[in-house]
Amino acid sequence: MARIMKQQESLISAFKKRAGAGLLFAVIGVIIIAFFNQLALVGIILIIGGIVFIRSGYKFHVGAAGESLATKVLSSFPDNWYVFNDMIVGRSQIDHIVVCPKGVYTIETKNYRGTIYGNAEKQEWYQIIESHATPFYNPVKQGVGHSVALSKYLEESGFNKVWVNTIVVFTNPNVELKVFSPKVPVIHQSKLSEFFNNQKQVMNSDESAKIAKSVLKLIYAKKQKGLGVALANMM
């Protein structure tokens, strides 16, 4: 199995914080209504606010679930594959980084349902559900920006000739993609394994391990002891 070097953290944390705050507000609201009749309006406002917080946090839960689905597919590859989830590189938050003999990839995942309309050159794409259109930022541009950030980091780390590929993956089984993106693959999760299986080897296992070690330093920059243990386990 592929080596999962880092798990999803930020989306799960954001969900827990908002859900926790929302639940706290709702509970306080209920207590106020139950024991302080004169402050019933305040209690109602707190309950409504709590519900709003919980609902706003749900989108983070959905995002984390989508990234977990992609990670499950990626973990099925050989043990000379390295998968980093939820990585911060410069100012970019990258859903997945894959380092393997078939190259270096950033993967932008979207757990959207409905029909997705998009053009790689346009700023906005649209999610259509029951004739209602919701715009969202072009994930191809988002993913390419992440790849540029990773490429710059690797170049600064001494890897001058490493091309960082970009993939956009939609994980929801109930999504239909109507997308034009001739240079950057935009695929459904069900096609992710097939995509990688069709790629050619561009480096050997030792080369990919060296790049993975460099990426690993981003995680343990302030944890030198942990870094030494993790690097040793990769040998």
Q: Residue 169 has what pLDDT?
A: 96
Residue 221 has pLDDT above 90, yes or no: no
What value does the mean pLDDT take over residues 164-171? Answer: 96
CB proximity list for 60: less than 8 A, separation 6 or greater: 11, 12, 14, 15, 18
What value does the mean pLDDT take over residues 121-127? Answer: 97
For residue 43, list its beta bridge partners: none
User: Domain spans of the chain?
Assistant: 3-234
Q: Do residues 69 and 44 make contact, with C-beta atoms less than 8 angstroms apart?
A: no
Q: Using one digit for the tens of pLDDT, what is the confidence trace for 13-24? A: 656 677 677 778
Q: Lowest mean pLDDT: which of 121-125, 143-147, 220-224?
A: 220-224
Mean pLDDT score of the chain, rounded to an integer? 86
Say how far apart CA 68 and CA 90 lie, in whole Å: 23
Q: Residue 64 has what pLDDT?
A: 59
Q: At what angle do helices 10-35 and 40-74 cross, to 10 degrees?
A: 160
pTM attached to this predicted model: 0.78
Q: Do residues 134 and 126 make contact, with C-beta atoms less than 8 angstroms apart?
A: yes
Q: Using one digit for the tens of pLDDT, what is the confidence trace for 59-68? A: 655 555 657 7
**24-28 long-range contacts, CB within 8 A, separation 24+:** 24/50, 25/49, 25/50, 25/53, 26/50, 26/51, 26/54
Q: Is 112 exposed, middle or buried (0-12, 13-18, 19+ CB in 10 A)?
A: buried
What value does the mean pLDDT take over residues 189-207? Answer: 95
Q: Do residues 178 and 117 make contact, with C-beta atoms less than 8 angstroms apart?
A: yes
Q: Do residues 23 and 34 make contact, with C-beta atoms less than 8 angstroms apart?
A: no
What proportion of the chain, given as a percentage, has pLDDT over 70?
82
What value does the mean pLDDT take over residues 108-132? Answer: 95
Say how far apart CA 25 and CA 28 lie, in whole Å: 5
